Amino acid sequence: MGQLTPPVGDRDHVAGPPGAPLTLVEYGDFECPHCGMAYPILKVVQRRLGDRLRFVYRYFPLKEIHPHARHAAEAAEAAGVQGRFWEMHAILFENQHALTDDDLMSYANRLRLDIPRFVEHLTSGAAAQKVREDFRSGVRSGVNGTPTFFVNGERYEGVWADQGAFIRYLERAALAGAV
């Protein structure tokens, strides 16, 4: 099993309490159809586990096969600077078929982001740097495809597409982590 490198920290996008007994990290790609299939499963996992779960999303755009993935990740990061990462994350996964630069600007407008600030973050290279850092951390952690999950720092090798089995595994991990 692979180790998550680096561990979850201040640089991450986190949903859930810091003291949750279970930390689930996803390395994902907004254009990846498998990540798109995992998205509603993860929403169920979040509802089911509630405060027992700390969910973290890290960027792993496979730009060679998903030409819009990197820009989508950068848009999510630019939205995150304005405190709207999770809203942009949802819009991107719910609209995987529409990830052109025009679409990304439309989503920024829909979220009522400060558009000059959004564009500045995109064009300054700051968003791209964070996406590269996440990608490199994925490589160091042994990620070679998306989605890849880590449960409490260890790579999850099971089947995530079997929602019931995935949730049962995560519930057991949450109980084990709540020592």
Q: What is the pLDDT of residues 63-112, one digit of tens each?
A: 999 999 999 999 999 999 999 999 999 999 999 999 999 999 999 999 99
Q: Within a 10 A sphere around the Cβ of 140, how many other Cβ atoms? A: 13
* Percent of the chain clearing pLDDT 90 (strictly above): 95
Pairing of the two strands 148-151 and 154-155: antiparallel
The per-residue pLDDT for range 26-65, each reduced to its tens digit, is: 999 999 999 999 999 999 999 999 999 999 999 999 999 9
Q: Look up the pTM and report it.
A: 0.96
Element (H, E) at 151: strand 148-151
How far is Cα 100 from Cα 103, in angstroms, rounded to an integer?
5
| H or E segment and range at residue 52 | none
Which structural domains are found in the chain, ordered by start?
13-177 (3.40.30.10)
How many whole angstroms separate alpha carbon 40 and alpha carbon 82?
25
Which of 16, 39, 17 lies closest to 149, judged by CA?
A: 39
* Dist CA 92 CA 94 (whole Å): 5
